[in-house]
Each structure stands twice: as C-alpha cells, then as structure tokens.
Amino acid sequence: MAAPKRKTDIGPPHYDQMLHPAIKANYGKWKSHQNLKPGVLMHEGESGAKVYTVRGASARLISITTIREMCDLADKYCDGFLRYTSRNNVEFMTDKEANVEPLIADLKAMGVPVGGTGSSISNIVHTQGWVHCHSSATDASGVVKVVMDELIDYFTSMSLPAHLRIAVACCLNMCGAVHCSDIAILGIHRTPPTIDHDKLGNMCEIPTTVASCPKAAIRPAMVEGKQSVEVIEDLCMYCGNCYTVCPAMPIANPLNDGISIWVGGKVSNSRTKPMFSKLAIPYLPNTPPRWPEVSDAVKNIVEVYARDAKKYERVGEWINRIGWPQFFEKTNLEFTKYHIDDFTLASSTYNSSTHIKF
C-alpha cells in the first residue's frame, strides 16, 4: 500500500512506513491468529506467512536509555521494527519463529515482564499525574506501578475469565480510558478551586474564565475593589476546567483529593454492547508512595471477578448477570449515597421500563 502524497508537512508520517515488511506484505489479508502463550501471538496470512508478536510491559514514561535498549532488541530480532500499543505495551514482531524464545529471554533479562495477551490484565493505560499535569488529583505512574506490582501474575498468565483492562486518570477530565475500562482508577478533587483575587485580574481573562465552567458556577465579581470572579460552590463539580484556563484558580488540595474506583466499562461490542464504567468506591485517600488502599481495593475486585465470573465474561457482563447488589456483597464494598446518580441529566439513564422484577 503506497502512502498518499502528502499535501503539507504537518502531522506524523504515514504509518505504513513503519510497518514490519511481513505485516506490510499481508496487510488486510490475515486468515487467523492464535494466542500461543502469555505474551506471544501468531498471525497467519492467507499466503501462509506467519508473524510472531512478543508483548512486553513498559512504563508509559521511560528513559531514553530504556528506549535504546528496546530498539537494540528490535534490531537484533525484528529487523529493526517495534511498536507501542495504546496501553503502553511494547510489541516486537518477527517472521522468524526461532527468534521468539531468545527475544523473551533478553526481555526478561532486562526486567521487562512478557504477557498481557488473551485473558490477562494488559498494561494499564494512564495519564500524566503529578509528573506533568497541573490538574491532577493524584499521581498516575506511581499508582499504576503499585497496582501492577500486586497484579503482575495476571499479566504474565492468561488465567482470568476474559481479558481485563485497567485505566488510570488523574482527574475526571480523564485523558485515560477510565470511562470504558473494566476497572478504572480515577483521581478526584472534592473541593472547589481557590481564587487568588490579587493575581486573577493580571493572569486571566474574566469572560474566558467564566465561559470555561461547564456548570456555569463561575460569575464575575468585584472583590475588595478588584475585578475578579466568584464560584457558586453548590454548582461546582470540582472538574478543574477553570484552572486550565485561569492559573489563579488552583484546585489541587492535598487533604481532600483522592481516588475513586469504577468498574464494568468496555469498548468492545463482542457479546454485549459497549458499556460505561460505573462507580464502585467513591473515595480512597491519596497515600503515596504505595497507595495500599487503592492496590488492595483493585486486587480484591480482580480476585472476586476471577473466582466468580464465567469464561469469556468481562467485568461489566459479570456484574450485569449477578446484579449490582450481589457485586457489592461479594466484593464486600459499601453502597453509599454517592453511588446514586442525581446529576440533572441522569434521568435519561434511569431504567424507565415497566418490566421491573422485584
């Protein structure tokens, strides 16, 4: 497939320049694929060509040195080709079966776990966290590290009922896929932004700041003779959008920020339609560097799911089969007032059918 001629120099190069030659030759002509073992896939083309993929874990933020080491492995075994998946796995593809085991041995020697394919937990997709983002209510890389330390056996085996996707977003603007993952770890603010009235007039445009709020909670106000804004706290949903627009309205609060856990989302439309994640645990405290409450909570949900779900059932499908009361009972989680969706537009999500079983 030839890349179309570019009209501008804006944007990334066409992806076909980076495909392994064996993949390019069989593009769109695949016959089947197999999960040979945890972390190893084999795709077979209509021509009979076979391509082996070895998947390793990778942190989302990695050093140049680590990237160079990965590239050296790609040079050694994969004709110089590798790719990163949207969940930050690194995948090495080769058409030589004899390369698979030595590649796995080299990856393990580098400390890179191999797995994440089939009915396993794949790498956790996550956002920037305290490393980069001004809005974060928690860290992302740190939380991912401690959770995967607990769940690594589910990455390197295919022992779960179905594949299980975990996502972390460090605020509810959710640059991660928390809205549609089997288990979602979501940083939350619980207090409105503070306002630095001395700086706001110099740092921010008031109309833009007012317009930044999705809840219309910000209004212009005169404070001690200065033009500024006020926040109607009852309307604020602590999203932090205003802080993105106006640096004089910081929202991070070390005592009140924390983490919520959501379950049951999926993107796939296999068997059942895609589903949004729903609230399981409204708040856990921020307890770096190991966040034990968060890793324990996620591990508990994974273990109950692993024991109780039927083969091929995703977390959301399992919960829908047993019912939410059973989910809370089996996982020993508390059902609270925060689980009731009372947002203005929530009525459109209620079960309004008359077919209700008691």
In the complex, the smallest distance separating the C-beta of residue 229 from ligand SF4, rounded to whole angstroms, is 9
CB-wise, 120 or 286, nearer to ligand SF4? Answer: 286
116 binds ligand SF4 (CB under 6 A): no
Which residues inside 221-250 make contact with ligand SF4, applying CB under 6 A?
Answer: 231, 236-242
Near ligand SF4 in 179-208, by CB under 6 A: 192-193
Cα–Cα distance measured from residue 151 to residue 140, given in angstroms and rounded to the nearest whole number: 16
CA 262 centroid distance within chain: 11
Select the span of 62-70, 88-96, 166-174, 320-328 touching ligand SF4 (CB under 6 A). 166-174
The reply to whether 118 sits near ligand SF4 by the rule CB under 6 A is no
List CB contacts of 351: < 8 A, sequence separation 6 or more.
none
Q: Is 210 in the site for ligand SF4 (CB under 6 A)?
A: no
Residue 199 CA, chain-centre distance (Å), reads: 35
Q: Smallest gap, in angstroms, from Cβ of residue 178 to ligand SF4?
A: 8
Q: What are phi and psi of 305, to 5 degrees?
A: -60, -45
41, β-bridge pairs: 35, 53
Determine the angle formed by the axes of helices 64-77 and 100-109, rounding to 10 degrees: 160
Q: With binding defined as CB under 6 A, does residue 151 bind ligand SF4? A: no
The token pair at 28 is: 């769109």
Binding-site size for ligand SF4 (CB under 6 A) equals 27
**Which residues sit opposite 184 in a β-bridge?**
167, 262
Q: Is 281 in the site for ligand SF4 (CB under 6 A)?
A: no
Q: Which is nearer to ligand SF4, 156 or 173 (CB)?
A: 173
Among residues 19 and 61, whose Cβ is nearest to ligand SF4? Answer: 61
Cα 57 from Cα 230, distance rounded (Å): 46
Residue 42 tokens read as 């084999």
Question: Quick one: which of 136, 228, 260, 331 contacts ligand SF4 (CB under 6 A)?
Answer: 136
Interaction mask 27-66, ligand SF4, x per CB under 6 A? ----------------------------------------
If one asks whether residue 127 binds ligand SF4 (CB under 6 A), the answer comes out as yes
Q: Which residues pair with 52 in a beta bridge?
A: 42, 94
How would you write 43-60 as a 3-class SS string? EEECCCCEEEEEEECCCC
Quote the tokens at residue 324: 């939410």
Query: Which residues contact ligand SF4 by CB under 6 A?
Result: 127-128, 133, 135-136, 169-171, 173-175, 192-193, 212-213, 215, 217-218, 231, 236-242, 251
